[in-house]
Structure 1
Amino acid sequence: MKKSLLKSAIIYLLVTVVCGSTSYAQKRYNGQRIIVIMMDGFGEKYYRQALMPFLNQMEKEGIYKVVPSLMPAVTNVNNMAIATGTPPEQNGITGNVFYDDKKQQEVYIEDPSILLSPSIFQKAHAQGVKSALLSVKKKTIDVLGQYADYTICPECLTAQTKWNGTPLRFSDVYSREVSYQLFTAANTLLKTDKNVKLIYIHTTDYPMHMWPPESDSVKVFLTNIDNYIAQLHSTAPDAAILLTADHDLNHKSQAWDLEKYLAEQQTPVKIVISPEKDRYIVHHRGLGGAAYVYLQKSSDAEKVRQNLVKVQGVDAVLTKAEAVKKYHLMPSRIGDFMVLGDRETVFGHLETGSYEKLPDTYRSHGSEYEAQVPLFVFNAKKAPSADYFNWNYKLAAWLFNN
């Protein structure tokens, strides 16, 4: 009898905790319109160097913090985490590509079945809340667009676009203007369909790949973005604006093709994957500050590790277990080793040789040196306290959680 009562009490306590936390989160969404902005490549130096008076207002009147982003510091890892409110160990996204054991090759993350956690759009849809996903990158629409009521991107075909009214015209994906056009589309939605309660905007980091924070070219871009965000607030003063980034950017002076290098050292491996690699090669050539190394056989591990740690520009070589623990990664979707570059080193496929000196204009990301980003929560009536927002992926994790 006592055991039965104790068991009942434990079950009651667990139900109370689970339901209590759910209702706590649910109370935080009361029908307010929400604008989520994922500013690709927006590090704090970019924010501080540019004239952005509306973001300055958001900082003063709301919550502002500089928080860690997830590793590897690439778009898919962080964008999918922000859109699901979960880290890679839960959502399964460990790069822009991953090694598919069945196909025995690297695969771009463009299939929604690869995402293992429900997105904010799926949660909103389950509650009958209309949403919109506006992205510069088609891969974002491919993975997240299924449950959104509106979707657009510059490269989306008619079948992939869900939009009412006049067809939208976009500039080239490698431009500043394409992000402006997304904000214009968002502003139109706020005016024409007030039943849309969630708008998620994913901009491009192309300007940050092209120019450092002190460049007038990127300053103009960011000042214009600030004006567009101010317009959204003017159109929908009732709306909350939640903004963060996926990664920062830095100049990189050298690149290593670790697969070629290890073959040269007589310790060949199955494959080395750059989590940075995607279809937007003009941005970064697929080179990034982290790499996953897949062994041919486990007995090669120590010799391969010894050769990796000798590479100039390698900060650390982590085992799978170490990488999973440190960076909250899914073990089945990373290599036997995770290699981390220093501030000026990137890894990936090189056409000739295992090493290349990079031009002074080259900028990329992927390492811990790009894994700190700004976070803003503005005009959100039911948002958690500032302490809650200790990672970029927590930005909208508190919404639609029932």
Structure 2
Amino acid sequence: MIELCDRRYALPARKTVVFCVDGCAPEHLEAALEDGLMPRLAGTLAAGGLFVRGRGQIPSFTNPNNVSIVTGQPTRVHGISGNTYLDAASGEEVPMNDPRFLRVPTLFERMEQAGVRTLCVTAKDKLRALLGACREGGPRPISLSAERAHEQAIPELGIASIPGVVGRESPSIYDWDISHYAMEMGLALHERVGARLLYVSLTDYVQHKEPPRGPMSDRFYARFDALYGAYLDAGFVCGVTADHGMNDKTAADGSPNVRYLEDALREAGLPGLRVLLPITDPYVVHHGALGSYATVYVDAAAGGGARDRAAEVLARLPGVELVLPREDAARRFALPPDRIGDLVVLGDRSTVLGKSAAYHDLSAVRRGLRSHGGLHEAEVPILVSHPPRPEVRARILGEGAAPARASAARAQASALSNADVFDVVLNGLATAPA
């Protein structure tokens, strides 16, 4: 066993992989299963695997949720509050991609310390350093990205070319197939590096571009299923979850349904307040830096009562669902209070939040914006390929839970979060060691 914060994890008895399907709401998998696009996934569910609706972390963005998955902890504990945060000392907006922002080790670092070889593969290079963090010394997890696969190698293990091992060149980060390339990397490399515990994090380009049952979406999930089956055939126990879901965020004319917070505050006679959009990352083609979560920083020069007045102005905007002061937001969403603004603002299911109309370049998302960040994108699938022990299934689904169903295209409700998925696949399964 290893210990990580308040959790204990068994060492993997079998080769184990968890996939984070970026931007995948439960509805994506349900639609693909109902349409017969995922026969290998359906087969594992019919044989007793688990498929439930769980919750992700708020904000429902990539970095905080991926780190929750690989630490088993909420944002308050691991410290990654968004894709970007405001450095109070410098006043600059800083990407939270560097391991120095982590406040706890990852499961992969602790497994390496225990002698278990691990491998992390991410489609987006921005996650590579976080997933491969080594805060406490000792062996470092192997962490690679599909985005930069052509630049990477593992010379100490005789791997001079990642594409050479995979058997094809990596697609563009804006290609529908880049996520599958990350999965192929894990399959091709795990035996070469001796890894028994894998994490493969995908990208949400397809989910930003199409809803479930779109033609590209269908191709995406059919290919995912084929690779999921290849992992099963290679002897893996598979877990599947997501960092967040995705919703349509367009106005009636098809343009982005945006509320510009700095513009609204200025028009209300409250200039000088700073809006931070923690969705901001290098992949603006996905979302144009528009999501359903924002934070507002109130300068002391704004005078007493400025925070309350700003909250009142923003709460009146159509599409703004929730405005919370820092302390309330930190308590409600388990956020680190020193890494969020004076106010936290959430948009509703169909609304995204921006800084000002002049700030954003919307050329890449002019029509049909789909995005995330708020409460309505925080529901995620949690799926395990092999049967949980009966007492674990009862704990997850309730004491009166029905046994595994022969047809399980619909996820059952649960209290799990995506931070629990490694606990289930390592501690909760009925499978005997291979």
TM range (shorter): 0.7 to 0.9
Distance in 2 between residues matched to 1:365 and 1:381, nearest whole Å = 31
2:161 to 151, 166, 178: 166
Distance in 1 between residues matched to 2:5 and 2:283, nearest whole Å = 39
Report if the CA contact (8 A) 1:65-1:375 is conserved: yes
| Segment of structure 1 superposing worse, 158-167 or 385-394 | 158-167
Q: Does 1:111 align with 2:108?
A: no
Could you say if the C-alpha distance between residues 219 and 327 of structure 1 is closer, same or farther in structure 2, counting changes exceeding 3 Å? Answer: same
What amino acid is the match of 1:174? Answer: Y
Deviation at 1:20, TM superposition (A): 11
Distance in 2 between residues matched to 1:33 and 1:397, nearest whole Å = 15
Distance in 1 between residues matched to 2:217 and 2:306, nearest whole Å = 46
| Segment of structure 1 superposing worse, 175-184 or 154-163 | 154-163
Any idea what SS the aligned residue of 1:31 has? coil
What amino acid is the match of 2:30? Answer: R
Deviation at 1:399, TM superposition (A): 7.9
Aligned twin of 2:319: 313
Any idea what SS the aligned residue of 1:373 has? strand
Deviations 1:292-318 (A, max 9, x none): 111112531121111111111111111
Aligned twin of 2:276: 273
Any idea what SS the aligned residue of 1:196 has? coil
> Taking every aligned residue pair, what percent have the same amino acid on both sides?
28
Aligned twin of 1:180: 180
What amino acid is the match of 1:218? Answer: S
What amino acid is the match of 1:38? Answer: C
Deviations 1:176-199 (A, max 9, x none): 121121121111124434x31111
Distance in 1 between residues matched to 2:372 and 2:213, nearest whole Å = 18
| Segment of structure 1 superposing worse, 82-91 or 316-325 | 316-325
Deviations 1:187-229 (A, max 9, x none): 1124434x31111101111001011112121111111111011
Could you say if the C-alpha distance between residues 24 and 260 of structure 1 is closer, same or farther in structure 2, counting changes exceeding 3 Å? Answer: closer
Q: Does 1:327 align with 2:294?
A: no
Q: Does 1:72 align with 2:59?
A: yes
| Segment of structure 1 superposing worse, 52-61 or 223-232 | 52-61
Deviations 1:70-118 (A, max 9, x none): 1111111111100111000100111100111011121111110101121
Distance in 1 between residues matched to 2:185 and 2:3, nearest whole Å = 38
Any idea what SS the aligned residue of 1:174 has? coil
Report if the CA contact (8 A) 1:120-1:399 is conserved: no
Aligned twin of 2:13: 31
Deviations 1:266-291 (A, max 9, x none): 11244111121111000001110011
Any idea what SS the aligned residue of 1:272 has? strand
What amino acid is the match of 1:112? Answer: P
| Segment of structure 1 superposing worse, 310-319 or 259-268 | 259-268
Distance in 1 between residues matched to 2:220 and 2:360, nearest whole Å = 36
Aligned twin of 2:248: 251
Distance in 1 between residues matched to 2:201 and 2:247, nearest whole Å = 21
Could you say if the C-alpha distance between residues 206 and 22 of structure 1 is closer, same or farther in structure 2, counting changes exceeding 3 Å? Answer: closer
Distance in 2 between residues matched to 1:355 and 1:308, nearest whole Å = 23
Any idea what SS the aligned residue of 2:119 has? strand
Deviation at 1:141, TM superposition (A): 0.4
Q: Does 1:122 align with 2:109?
A: yes
Distance in 2 between residues matched to 1:294 and 1:150, nearest whole Å = 38
What amino acid is the match of 1:392? Answer: N
1:37-76 to 2 correspondences below 5 Å: 37-50=19-32, 51-60=37-46, 61-76=48-63
1:151-162 to 2 correspondences below 5 Å: 151-156=143-148, 162=154
Distance in 1 between residues matched to 2:12 and 2:248, nearest whole Å = 44
Deviation at 1:359, TM superposition (A): 4.9
What amino acid is the match of 1:374? Answer: P
What amino acid is the match of 2:240? Answer: L
Distance in 2 between residues matched to 1:20 and 1:94, nearest whole Å = 23
Could you say if the C-alpha distance between residues 384 and 100 of structure 1 is closer, same or farther in structure 2, counting changes exceeding 3 Å? Answer: farther
1:190-269 to 2 correspondences below 5 Å: 190-193=190-193, 195-236=194-235, 239-253=236-250, 254-269=257-272
Distance in 2 between residues matched to 1:265 and 1:69, nearest whole Å = 34
Q: TM-score, normalised by structure 2?
A: 0.80
What amino acid is the match of 1:205? Answer: D
Could you say if the C-alpha distance between residues 307 and 293 of structure 1 is closer, same or farther in structure 2, counting changes exceeding 3 Å? Answer: same
What amino acid is the match of 1:338? Answer: V
| Segment of structure 1 superposing worse, 365-374 or 386-395 | 386-395
Any idea what SS the aligned residue of 2:132 has? helix
What amino acid is the match of 2:22? Answer: D
1:289 to 292, 299, 303: 292
1:88 to 75, 93, 101: 75
Report if the CA contact (8 A) 2:147-2:172 is conserved: no
| Segment of structure 1 superposing worse, 336-345 or 49-58 | 49-58
Report if the CA contact (8 A) 1:260-1:353 is conserved: no
Query: For the aligned residues, what is the CA RMSD?
Result: 3.0
Report if the CA contact (8 A) 1:256-1:354 is conserved: no
- Structure 2, unaligned stretches of length 5 or more? 135-139, 164-168, 251-256, 397-414, 428-434
What amino acid is the match of 2:43? Answer: Q
Any idea what SS the aligned residue of 1:227 has? helix
Report if the CA contact (8 A) 2:12-2:197 is conserved: no
Could you say if the C-alpha distance between residues 52 and 315 of structure 1 is closer, same or farther in structure 2, counting changes exceeding 3 Å? Answer: same
Distance in 2 between residues matched to 1:283 and 1:292, nearest whole Å = 21
- Structure 1, unaligned stretches of length 5 or more? 1-18
Could you say if the C-alpha distance between residues 299 and 383 of structure 1 is closer, same or farther in structure 2, counting changes exceeding 3 Å? Answer: farther
Could you say if the C-alpha distance between residues 249 and 21 of structure 1 is closer, same or farther in structure 2, counting changes exceeding 3 Å? Answer: closer
Could you say if the C-alpha distance between residues 265 and 381 of structure 1 is closer, same or farther in structure 2, counting changes exceeding 3 Å? Answer: closer
| Segment of structure 1 superposing worse, 182-191 or 108-117 | 182-191
What amino acid is the match of 1:285? Answer: G
Distance in 2 between residues matched to 1:312 and 1:47, nearest whole Å = 32
